[in-house]
Amino acid sequence: MSTYLYRFILYPLLFILAHIYALFNKKIRKALRKRYSVLGEARQIRKRSSARPVLIHTASMGEFEHVKPLIKTLKKRYNRPVIITFFSPSGFEFINNHEDVDGFLYLPFDFTQTVKKFYSILEPQMVIIAKHDVWINQVLVARKMNIPVYLINASLGATSSRTGWLARRILKPAYESLTGIYAISKDDAQTFKQYFNRAEVKAIGDTKFDQVLIRKEQALKKQLLPPGWERDAFVIVLGSIWKEDSAKILNPLKKLMKKYPKIKTIAVPHDPSKEFVSMLSKELNDIGVRLYSEVQKDFTERILLVDRIGILADLYKYAHLAFVGGSFKQGIHNVMEAAVYGIPVLYGPTHQNASEAVRLCKTGGGFVFNTAEEFENYVERFLLNEAERKVAGQKTQQFALDNINATEKLIKEWMGTVNLIPGSK
């Protein structure tokens, strides 16, 4: 009954509302327009290889970043064509190419016949969904066509909107039909079993941990700032910050920077729009701000304001202490990108959306604060007590290392079911 409700009422209604909203939003309008041509683009991509591809769906750029180790393994070791689909424009528009990806597409509209045509064109050997962006027909049509569908890096907190009565009724047929669910932790695996009546959900881990370690190794070879800017300084990186985050941390940060000339800050907005960058620049101007886009040689300003995307994970290498944003808005961003460098990580109360943020706090490497005063106390504490900072940093780094190798565990799971043979087609 819930499948019919979704197919004939809920999704058509969502489809209409999206088109109405697109009249007032250029980004949404562009994304919808691209979805109308997705079948034609799929045909062109399919012609590039005779081998059946692995189709990986990532909602946005963050999820794509996390599955890069899996993509690389499928491509290099098993010679599989890999095709990526995105739901969000933030993924599709900012990633034009990747050496291990054979094609990028928007996820097609989730109408039964559209999805069926999409799969018929691409003939995927398997469909992999990263994290949580499960669509009903995306799964049910694939299973009817005998295409295995796996949910990886899967998380489901007890307070997730997907555990609500209506959401469970709608999503249950899809989750029950998934060939396999691979959760990021035992707690998440148990929650899936409880709410979606799955007899087996395996706790494999999160490929995010594999990727942050790879990204760290790459970042250590890069020179992103003029040599010497960070020398003898105590560098704080504010990662993926929103307006709501800045309202909590900017005033105490300025107070501390005036008190301690040793402090330097790299501020990285989640969305470096002209309006937000301008607001931050004005707010911090009394300390001295330099935009990243204007850095060509040595500079003396103590605050670097990053007005581009894609380099935050690399910039954490300069940090002695990090704050991860989103934790005073809708949900925290990636704490592991900072933790892998062995530094204390601060964040706000809205972090239950990320299991690793909850667990990092329990290990003694993550620190949650609610007020500006608490933020100020944490920063001053780690600035003045190097021994305590190093102990906390060791805990964060060990936490990251203890959770790697999810990619290899997934490959081992699939060896017998999808006939992955090194070098085969």
At residue 252, the pLDDT reads: 98
DSSP string, 288-327: -EEEGGG-SS----SEEE--SSS-HHHHGGG-SEEEESST
The helix, strand and coil proportions of the chain, stated in percent and rounded to the nearest 5, come to 50, 15, 35
pLDDT of residue 416: 67
Long-range pairs of 196-200 with CB within 8 A, sequence gap ≥ 24 = 196/168, 196/171, 196/172, 197/172
Check residue 420 and give its pLDDT: 65
Side-by-side strand order, sheet with 202-203: 103-106, 82-86, 54-58, 126-130, 149-154, 180-183, 202-203
Burial of 136 (C-beta count, 10 Å sphere; 0-12/13-18/19+): buried
State the pLDDT at residue 298: 82
The alpha carbon of 268 is separated from its chain's Cα centroid by a whole number of angstroms, namely: 16
Tell how far CA 95 is from the center of its chain: 14
Residue 422: the pLDDT is 54
Residue given tokens 């709608």 in the structure block: 170
Angle between helix 243-259 and helix 372-384 axes, rounded to 10 deg: 40
| End-to-end CA separation in angstroms for the chain | 40
Helix (H, G, I), strand (E, B) or coil at 342: coil
Domains of the chain listed by start with CATH number = 2-206+405-414 (3.40.50.11720), 217-402 (3.40.50.2000)
Q: Which helix (H) or strand (E) holds 92?
A: helix 89-92
Give the pLDDT confidence score for residue 98 in this predicted structure.
83
pLDDT tens digits, the chain, 425 residues: what are they? Answer: 688 899 999 999 999 999 999 999 988 898 899 999 999 999 999 999 889 999 999 998 889 989 999 999 999 888 889 999 999 887 777 776 788 999 999 999 999 999 999 999 999 999 999 999 999 999 999 999 999 999 999 998 777 888 888 888 999 999 999 999 999 989 899 999 999 988 899 999 999 999 999 999 999 999 999 988 999 999 999 999 999 999 999 999 999 999 999 999 999 999 999 999 999 999 999 999 999 999 878 889 999 999 998 899 999 999 999 999 999 998 999 999 999 999 999 999 999 888 899 999 999 999 999 999 999 999 999 999 999 999 999 999 999 988 899 999 999 999 866 666 554 44
Task: Tell me whether residue 63 is one of the annotated catalytic residues.
Answer: yes
| Residue reference for tokens 């990806």 | 101
**pTM of the predicted protein model:** 0.83
**Is beta strand 303-305 parallel, antiparallel or unpaired with respect to 289-291?**
parallel
| The one catalytic residue among 41, 63, 176, 376 | 63
